[in-house]
């Protein structure tokens, strides 16, 4: 399995972070999550960076979730550890003091949608698809923090469609829901993202930083514990079946156990 990589480059006050594993639709490996965390820590301390763009390589996907092959042999405790690890990485991205923009070209699924949701603004192509179809694919669940972010971004009823019905949301619906800042053709995506980043870079950075932190605190204020729910789903026979079925490229056979 190719480990993939996360790349970062600077153009003046604007940084671009690229998820680079196009042969697997930029599905995240443990190594990629680690690299993303390192870059977030570097960016947090670099006051010369005024805005950050996040995008996927290859033109087919932003990030198609976490690489499912890594879940082989998981039990409930592994699931809890995984969700804590992802929450920590996503939390570092969310805590960046400068505005962040996700450029979504194609699929943003599962962990990829979580990354995009954590960004302050999102621009997508008309063909983009957004979702968390785990009721159809893996039979696992999300952490309380990610559920809170997605509920704030999409609303509870639309999120139920995405989670309980495993529906994918198109760009126009996401734009109407306020999740997307704009929709742009692939050829214009980078230019629109840079224009938005440059506009943000001209504004008061401390106002942006403290406002972002205040909104983060409000969104995640007094989250209930969900470790028991994570342990129940990741420790289930259904989750084992979901991983095996996905890697074997066959439909899963759910038992509810």
Q: Is 197 inside any structural domain?
A: no
Asked if residues 111 and 68 have their Cβ atoms less than 8 Å apart, the reply is: no
Burial level of 72, CB count in 10 A (0-12/13-18/19+)? exposed
pLDDT in tens, 58-70: 999 999 999 999 9
Q: Is 235 inside any structural domain?
A: no
> What CATH number should be reported for the domain holding residue 137?
3.90.226.10
47: pLDDT strictly greater than 80: yes
pLDDT in tens, 148-193: 999 999 999 999 999 999 999 999 999 999 999 999 999 999 999 9
Burial level of 82, CB count in 10 A (0-12/13-18/19+)? buried
Predicted TM-score (pTM) of the model is: 0.96
133 — pLDDT class (breaks 50, 70, 90): very high
Number of domains composing the chain: 1
Q: Is 234 inside any structural domain?
A: no
Q: What integer pLDDT is reported at residue 1 of this predicted model? A: 57
C-alpha to C-alpha distance for 71 and 245, rounded to whole angstroms: 12
- pLDDT, mean of residues 228-254: 96
- Find, among 10, 240, 35, the residue nearest to 140 by Cα: 240
Q: Provide the residue range defining the domain that includes 127.
A: 5-186
Q: Is 212 inside any structural domain?
A: no
Q: Is 207 inside any structural domain?
A: no
Q: Is 55 inside any structural domain?
A: yes
pLDDT in tens, 221-233: 989 999 999 999 9
Q: Is 11 inside any structural domain?
A: yes
Q: Is 251 inside any structural domain?
A: no
How crowded is the C-beta side of 193, counted as CA atoms within 13 Å? Answer: 28
Helical ranges in the chain per DSSP H: 30-44, 76-94, 111-118, 144-154, 156-164, 171-176, 186-201, 205-219, 227-234, 237-248
Tell whether the torsion through CA atoms of 215, 217, 220 and 224 is positive or negative. Answer: negative
Phi then psi dihedrals of residue 51, to 5 deg: -160, 150
């Amino acid at each position: 399995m190719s480990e993939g990589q996360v790349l970062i480059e600077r153009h003046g006050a604007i940084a671009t972070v690229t998820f680079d594993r196009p042969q697997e639709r930029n599905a995240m490996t443990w190594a990629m999550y680690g690299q993303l965390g390192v870059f977030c820590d570097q960016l947090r301390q670099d006051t010369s960076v005024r805005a950050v763009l996040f995008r996927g390589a290859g033109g087919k996907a932003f990030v198609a979730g976490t690489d499912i092959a890594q879940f082989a042999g998981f039990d409930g405790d592994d699931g809890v550890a995984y969700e804590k690890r992802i929450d920590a990485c996503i939390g570092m991205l969310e805590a960046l003091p400068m505005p962040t923009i996700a450029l979504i070209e194609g699929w943003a699924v599962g962990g990829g949608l979580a990354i995009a949701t954590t960004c302050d603004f999102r621009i997508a192509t008309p063909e983009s698809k957004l979702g968390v179809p785990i009721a159809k694919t893996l039979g696992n669940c999300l952490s309380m923090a990610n559920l809170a972010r997605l509920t704030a971004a999409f609303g509870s009823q639309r999120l139920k469609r995405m989670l309980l019905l495993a529906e994918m949301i198109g760009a126009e619906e996401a734009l109407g829901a306020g999740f997307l800042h704009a929709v742009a053709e692939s050829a214009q995506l980078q230019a629109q993202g840079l224009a938005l980043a440059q506009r943000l870079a001209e504004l008061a950075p401390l106002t942006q930083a403290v406002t972002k932190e205040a909104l983060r605190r409000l969104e995640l204020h007094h989250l209930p514990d969900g470790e028991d729910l994570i342990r129940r789903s990741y420790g289930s026979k259904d989750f084992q079946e979901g991983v095996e079925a996905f890697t074997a490229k066959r439909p899963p056979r759910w038992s509810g156990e």
